[in-house]
Amino acid sequence: MSDVDDACGRECDEALAHLWEYLDAELGTAEAEQVRAHLASCEGCHAEHDVEAMIKQVLRRCCSQEAPQTLVLRIQQQITVLRTSLPTD
């Protein structure tokens, strides 16, 4: 990422800081447009966007299975145990 940061500095920092929000469509219209414009003009950040988008795609494909109900119940039980055993302020 240092090559990207050296390319255009602060603009890259801002775009990369909001990249995941951009990919998740969690930015406001103006912020999303700023990131989109930067990605269109910065080859390094655009490449970083492509890598992050690919990671999200792979994660989405690999993590689409539901956990077995027995695992869900064990996790819920452990959370309950932790909640009841922690001291309250």
9/12 Cα distance (integer angstroms)? 5
CA angle 28-1-30, nearest 5°?
15
The three-class DSSP label of residue 64 is coil
The pLDDT value given to residue 89: 60
Predicted local confidence at residue 51, as pLDDT: 94
> Can you give the pLDDT at residue 5?
44
* Mean pLDDT of successive 10-residue stretches along the chain, which has 89 residues: 56 92 94 95 94 90 84 93 77
